[in-house]
Amino acid sequence: MADKPKRAKIKGSAKFNRILADTMKYEGWNEKEGSYGGFMQNTYDDYRKSMDLPPRTVKEITFGEARDIAKSNYWDHLKLDKLDNENVKRHIFDHTFQFGPDSTNGGKRAIMELQKMLGVKEDGILGPKTNKALNKYTETSGEEPLLSGLRALREPTYGGRTEWLSNQYLQPRQGVR
């Protein structure tokens, strides 16, 4: 029997785990796409292979495996730890989770939409200028106008099927920043 893979301590893991768990709660099994909880079968296969584990259906993914994949392929890839605002991290992470970190509609697009709202260079890279502009925007205008604007920019991506964008998951969390 293969040894269990060692997991690295994840910086800020409580916030990340909460955001991941919330995201996965709204995902389910998509037989047409072969995905479960937002994870595609081929992504899960690649992960299991990298850990020298036998293949199995993505329906059997554990939260620990989901966390490892989401942390490295989505969260770290986009450098979401650079943002101070948890609700904006949540929005970008969810968008990335839906479409992938590099796809035309995925994480890079979500970051560029944020940058457009903030009036900074739309390069799809999270850095100190974007974070500074985000903090200034939320201090002067509040968080809700920004999140509403981001949801509105995201609507065309979903072909008008956006009723779920208004669910509590993508609404600002009180006392969360």
How crowded is the C-beta side of 176, counted as CA atoms within 13 Å? 18
Read off the pLDDT of each residue in 78-107 and give the average, rounded to a whole number.
Answer: 80
Tell me, what's the pLDDT at 5?
45
Contact yes or no for 83/126 (Cβ under 8 A): yes
To the question of pTM greater than 0.85 for the whole model, the response is no
Task: Give me the pLDDT at residue 42, please.
Answer: 87
Which of these ranges, 21-30, 129-138, 168-177, has the smallest mean pLDDT? 168-177
With a CB cutoff of 8 Å and minimum separation 6, the contacts of 113 are 150, 153, 154
Query: Bridge-partner residues for 39, per DSSP?
Result: 36
Q: Are 81 and 11 in contact (CB under 8 A)?
A: yes
Amino acid 104: pLDDT = 60
Cβ-count burial of 117 within 10 angstroms (0-12 exposed, 13-18 middle, 19+ buried)? buried
Determine the Cα–Cα distance for residues 131 and 128; give it in Å rounded to an integer.
5
Q: What digits encode the pLDDT tens for the residues 22-32?
A: 887 777 767 77
Residue 136 carries which side chain, given as an amino acid letter?
K
Domains defined along the chain, listed by start: 13-170 (1.20.141.10)
Least confident of 36-40, 113-117, 141-145: 36-40
DSSP-based three-state secondary structure for 40: strand
CA distance 162 to 145: 18
- Sign for the pseudo-dihedral over CA of 140, 148, 157, 40: positive
